[in-house]
Structure 1
Amino acid sequence: MTTDKTLLQFAGLVRFRSAVPSDERAPGALKVGVDLGTANLVLAVVDADNRPVAGITHRSSVVRDGIVVDYMGAVQAVRAMKAELEQRVGVPLQRAAAAIPPGIHPGSAKAIGNVVEAADFELVEVVDEPTAAARFLDIRDGAVVDVGGGTTGISVLRDGDVVASFDEATGGTHMTLVLAGARRIPFAEAEAEKLDPDNERDVFAIVRPVVDKMASIVSGVLDSHPEVAVIHVVGGACSFSDFTTVFANQIGRRVLKPAEPLLVTPLGIAMYPNEAGA
């Protein structure tokens, strides 16, 4: 199954609040990826062969730029999402991995892990977000740019290893702030307008300076990596139709965006090796 088909299948499981049926689910056999984003919390469940089983998303502001700003709110949200997923799949979900933006302070990374453990998971791995995305996309060479709600994370890969990583505090939240200022409307109203597909063309024209800044950041990081020919962009903030065109024109390299870019990283988080944490 291609990555786009897998993403679309997973998106359907999330959207219709369903699970892939199976008679072979022992407790602990399913793997969970916990993506604590600035704008969205996402839990992805895969089987031992990394096939999507179920998933759930929740709009939230308990994490900001990789920093847990509402610890109890984050724990309660993840617990509730875990409980709903367990009801769907019919077995306890015991093991989970989490992700952090590249270059995050060790204390903040520890807090992310603590949230997962406090939500009654056994934490098996903490991985940086672009690396998780690269794992799902099966990328061994190139660059992965994870454009989240609060940050833009970049990882450069060579032969499957991360040789450079960088994170900048520019993301979807900054788009919303620009839109709110231009429209002279409250942040929540601007966020709703940004997420409405019917407004995409007008919204993108206003927030394009933020996208230009993201592209400039990525271009600066990649100046020292001329071998990178292809950039893969993921994350909810890159969902605009013209996002890849702006990036490609400014950076001068090929830019690819998978279907359902918001769901790439959580699936990659869940695809930790079966022996992880053993």
Structure 2
Amino acid sequence: MSEKHVTFEYCDQMVADFEKAIKHPIREKSSVYYTGVDLGTACVVIAVLDENRRPVAGAYRYADVVRDGMVVDYIGAVQIVRELKEEIEEKLGTELIYAAGAIPPGTDLLDSGAVKNVIQGAGFELTNLLDESTAANEVLKMKNGAVVDIGGGTTGISVLKDGKVVYIADEPTGGTHFSLVISGAYGKSFEEAELYKREEKNHRELMPVLQPVIEKVSSIISQHIKDFDVQELSLVGGTCCLTGIEDVIQKRTGVFTHKPKNPMFVTPLGIALSCGQEEMQEA
């Protein structure tokens, strides 16, 4: 367990430092800034690191510009990313130039162009575009196991061996389905259910209602890891903020399950860590 403790200690410290930097940006001079843009189904997050790859600023906004990992409102997405970029630039007193982005596992042929265009349209030079689970593992630093990214529309699974992704899958069950269940159970609109789900004080009450959906996610995970010797799971993505979700998944899959302190910020930090200083070449 000592290796797991050390590995996830780094992740949790990065997230904690990022949460502080969102509230109190660090304006110390840096020769370069590395930015990660995470276009999530429910939330757009931008993470900024300094020359030493330490979190110095960030911002996020809940939005409905991406569905099931696909950009459905291009103009809206560009506008949000541009506004968040300008907000951070004002706080740091500098221009952000370089950025990296990410897409759900296995969707590179479908949506990589749209994500690339959104980031460039917002005024960044795009230096890298990778799958979300690989990005998350830049922070998790898992060697052997699986990264499970439960986003708004889908659950992405990446199996790692010796630190490299050897298998990826992405299935349509995620936070949207959680909200639909809450909407039906409580007679709320979808938007009201989304807001109700985000409130941590409601999580204990919601667990019995959401148990069947969490079990469905667990069965998806089990199905995709059954042919591999997966010893641990790491949960990332905004939907994993639900208190206790990791306990249900661990019980149902029978695999040790770790959840960072704020799983919503792991992927954007990993995207920022993968950012470089050279613009991507056109294919």
Q: Do both share a fold (TM > 0.5)?
A: yes
**How big is each residue's C-alpha offset from its partner over 1:144-169, in whole Å with a ceiling of 9 and x where there is no partner?**
00111111111011112110000011
1:27-83 deviation per Cα after TM superposition (whole angstroms, max 9, x unaligned):
xx1010000000000000012322101010100001111111111000001000000
Alignment correspondent of 1:13: 21
- Alpha carbons 1:147, 1:235 under 8 Å: kept: yes
Contact 2:36 2:275 in 1 (8 A): no
Pick the aligned partner of 2:190 from 187, 195, 201.
187
Once the 2 structures are TM-superposed, how far is the Cα of residue 273 of structure 1 from its aligned partner?
A: 5.5
2:106 maps to 1:103: yes
SS in 1 for 2:152: coil
Contact 1:136 1:267 in 2 (8 A): yes
After TM superposition, the score normalised by the length of structure 2 is: 0.92
Paired AA for residue 39 in structure 2: L
Which residue does the alignment assign to 2:37? 34
1:159 to 148, 156, 162: 162
Q: Check whether the contact 2:127–2:275 (CA below 8 A) recurs between aligned residues.
A: no
- Map 1:1-278 to 2 at 5 A: 2-14=10-22, 16=23, 18-23=24-29, 25-26=30-31, 29-104=32-107, 106-225=109-228, 227-272=229-274, 274=276, 277=279
Structure 1 runs (4+) greater than 2 angstroms displaced: 273-278
Distance 1:171 1:201 in 2: 19
Q: Is the 8 A contact 1:48 1:274 kept in 2?
A: no
SS at match of 2:20: helix
The Cα RMSD (Å) is 1.4
Match of 2:100, SS state, is strand
Query: By how many angstroms is 1:262 displaced?
Result: 0.4
Give the C-alpha shift of residue 192 in structure 1. 1.3
Structure 2 unaligned segments of length 5 or more: list them: 1-8
Q: 1:67-103: CA deviations, max 9, x gaps?
A: 1111100000100000001011111100101110011
Aligned length: 272
Q: Could you tell me how far 1:186 is from its partner in structure 2?
A: 0.7
- 2:83 and 2:174 map into 1 onto residues whose CA distance is 27
Q: TM-score, normalised on structure 1?
A: 0.94
The sequence identity of aligned pairs, in percent, is 43
Does the C-alpha gap of structure 1 residues 178 and 55 become closer, same or farther in structure 2, counting only changes over 3 Å? same
- The separation in 2 between residues aligned to 1:170 and 1:41, in whole angstroms, is 19
- Matched AA of 1:173: T
Q: CA deviation at 1:109?
A: 1.4
Q: In terms of mean alpha carbon deviation, does 153-162 or 103-112 score higher?
A: 103-112
Conserved in 2, the CA contact under 8 Å of 1:42 and 1:58? yes
Structure 1 distance, partners of 2:75, 2:275, is 29
